[in-house]
A and B are shown apart, each in its own frame.
Chain A
Amino acid sequence: MLSAANRVARSIPALLLVTLAAGAWAAGPPQHSQTFSTIASPDINLINLRGNVIVRGWSRSFVHADYVMASPKIEIDAVSMPSRGQADKIQLMTHLLDASLHGPDAEVDYTLSVPQDSSVEIRNPEGVVRIEGLGGDLWVESVGGAIFVGDASGHVSARSIGGDIEVSSSSGNIELSSVMGNLRLLSPTSSSIHARTSSGGIVYEGSVLPTAEYVLETYSGNINVACPPSASFNLDARSVHGKVVHLLKVRRKPHHPSYSYYGNAVYGTHNHGGAVLQLTSYRGNIYIRPQSQNSSPTNTP
């Protein structure tokens, strides 16, 4: 017969194993963190297959990366160049150890804190990409995921084939492209914006810089523009099969003789002109309205 003390002693290893396993399960999916010392304006390159990516700028010359992986059969290839000292380039890539992983099993969520002057290039086919407070150039590409960029002062180039793209409070040149996604530009202070979507809509809400050029184009979606009544620009709005509705006092100009302007069009000057606002839709409607001071952003394009 085993004594009570003996039974307890013998059961301790088994209990420990159960406890460790339960602890590992309760701790959730594998997580890793890495920190890299960098120059003040490094290039950050991230290639993921699926998952959410958050990148925030901070005032330190470090890149701190947190990864949450859905499976232990995933690893992160992280390379800093040069490998010693302050890196001027950091590359992160999701690598599946088991190529049969699909869907949620292949997810990796990244959260990066990077120097605020970093240039960032991200490919993330599925999942949300959110970038905030960066001063370098940004290049983001997704297939089905949404892209959000806020407070960026460098060049922003974003493409999502099926996802929506929103850029807010950004001052660098902006290029947005999508096939099915909606494009939203909120409070930009950019002097050049080019946005194109095929079946999505486009929303622009904010002021108009005096010498800026805004070119917004959709095939079947609507374009909604809301700007302050004091905004000054040359307007060239046309929808071939849709309507052009404007609630601003636009002084119409005769069309340029080389253009026949079929469809519905408004071509004129608001206030003193200056900026170029070119809006084109083939089948959708175009709405241009004054932005009231306390108006909330339009929810749907």
Chain B
Amino acid sequence: MIDLKDETMMPPQKACSDFEAELPAYLEGESRPALLAHAAQCEFCRCILADVEQIRAASLDLMEDPPDRMWKHIRTALVEEGIIASRQGLWQRWASRWREGFLRHPVPVGAVAAAILIAAFFLGMPGQSFLHRRSALPQVSNASASRREASSAIDQLRQTVSGLQRAFNANASRLDPSLKVTYQRSLESLNQEIRDCRRSLPGDPDGLTQHYLASAYMQKAELLQSALEYDLR
């Protein structure tokens, strides 16, 4: 995963722009030796390539496409963090404002996307049929092993959410006051759900509580990410 805590990372240069331009074709399977050569030399682009490869690998493991919205979220977040350039000029002013302001408290976008994808694989996306997801996973035949994997995915989500929460806390004062109230009330609602599910987890006979717990974490991750995206003034 890319470590964006390093604030000394240089902004993209010309070679980096070429890298960005060639990345979609490379991910489609086309040969791009120049891209690989640049990634070998540039730490920034190497991290991006590793991040995107990891997200792609996680999505391939799902055996079904994640919703378009998730890719839009990932792309939007990458653009708004200034990690990749937008193809649309209109976004550039937005993205530059983001870089100026928010990169002081960067979000681990790749980590968020990967954690959500992994959790989605084991637990189903929020709103997705839990029972159907379970039946669609024939390779997970051992219930206790499945439970352990799900528990591990939830733990990863929890850590991701903690990171986002820290970034949110650091930036909350910059939010529009009424938006801040909505975010905080919603966070409290989800925290209550998480506490309740955690208390009930030991007596959960068939994984439903675990499913609700994962859904609450995923919603919390999306909420925090949304709050960080809207902090664009």
B179 partner residues in chain A, CB cutoff 8 A: 125-126, 143-144
Stretch at the interface among A18-26, A214-222, A244-252: A214-222
List residues of B (177-233) whose CB comes within 8 Å of A's CBs: 177-179, 182-183, 185-186, 189-190, 193, 196-197, 200, 205-206, 208-209, 212, 215-216, 219, 222-223, 226-227, 230, 233
- Whole-angstrom distance from the CB of A231 to the nearest CB of chain B? 19
The answer for the CA separation of A79 and B134 in the assembled complex, in Å, is: 45
The answer for the CA separation of A256 and B223 in the assembled complex, in Å, is: 35
The answer for the CA separation of A100 and B16 in the assembled complex, in Å, is: 34
Q: Which of B89, B131, B132 has the most CB of A within 10 A?
A: B131
B33 on the A face (CB < 8 A): no
List residues of A (108-149) whose CB comes within 8 Å of B's CBs: 125-126, 139, 141, 143-144
B18 on the A face (CB < 8 A): no
Known: A179-B189, A180-B186. A236 touches B131 (CB 8 A): yes
Known: A143-B226, A179-B219, A217-B127. A260 touches B206 (CB 8 A): yes
Whether the pair A278, B129 counts as a contact (CB closer than 8 A) is yes
Known: A126-B178, A143-B179, A179-B223. A219 touches B127 (CB 8 A): no
Whether the pair B126, A177 counts as a contact (CB closer than 8 A) is yes
Whether the pair B72, A139 counts as a contact (CB closer than 8 A) is yes
B222 partner residues in chain A, CB cutoff 8 A: 159
Whether the pair B233, A177 counts as a contact (CB closer than 8 A) is no
B176 partner residues in chain A, CB cutoff 8 A: 49-50, 102-103, 106, 125-126
Partner of A79, one of B72, B90, B226, B227: B90
Known: A79-B89, A213-B129, A236-B131. A139 touches B182 (CB 8 A): no
Count A-side interface residues using an 8 Å CB cutoff: 55
A282 partner residues in chain B, CB cutoff 8 A: 193, 196-197, 208-209, 212
B226 partner residues in chain A, CB cutoff 8 A: 141, 143, 161
Partner of B127, one of A106, A143, A195, A260: A195
Whether the pair B182, A143 counts as a contact (CB closer than 8 A) is yes
In the complex, per-residue mask of A223-252: 1 if CB is within 8 Å of any chain B CB, else 0: 000000000000010101000000000000
Whether the pair B69, A102 counts as a contact (CB closer than 8 A) is no
- Whole-angstrom distance from the CB of B130 to the nearest CB of chain A? 7
The answer for the CA separation of A280 and B183 in the assembled complex, in Å, is: 25
Partner of A220, one of B132, B193, B209, B230: B193
Whether the pair B216, A180 counts as a contact (CB closer than 8 A) is no
Q: Which of B185, B205, B219 has the most CB of A within 10 A?
A: B219
**Chain A interface residues toward B at CB < 8 A:** 47, 49-50, 77, 79, 81, 89, 91, 93, 95-96, 99, 102-103, 106, 125-126, 139, 141, 143-144, 157, 159, 161-162, 175-177, 179-180, 194-196, 198-199, 213, 215, 217, 219-220, 236, 238, 240, 256, 258-263, 276, 278, 280, 282-283
Q: Which 9 A-B pairs have the closest CB atoms?
A: A196-B127, A194-B127, A144-B182, A260-B205, A179-B186, A162-B182, A91-B90, A99-B233, A196-B126
**Chain B interface residues toward A at CB < 8 A:** 67, 69, 72, 88-90, 93-94, 126-132, 134, 143, 176-179, 182-183, 185-186, 189-190, 193, 196-197, 200, 205-206, 208-209, 212, 215-216, 219, 222-223, 226-227, 230, 233
Given A179-B223, A198-B190, A278-B129, 9 new contacts (CB under 8 A): A49-B176, A79-B88, A141-B226, A143-B230, A144-B178, A176-B127, A177-B127, A180-B189, A217-B127
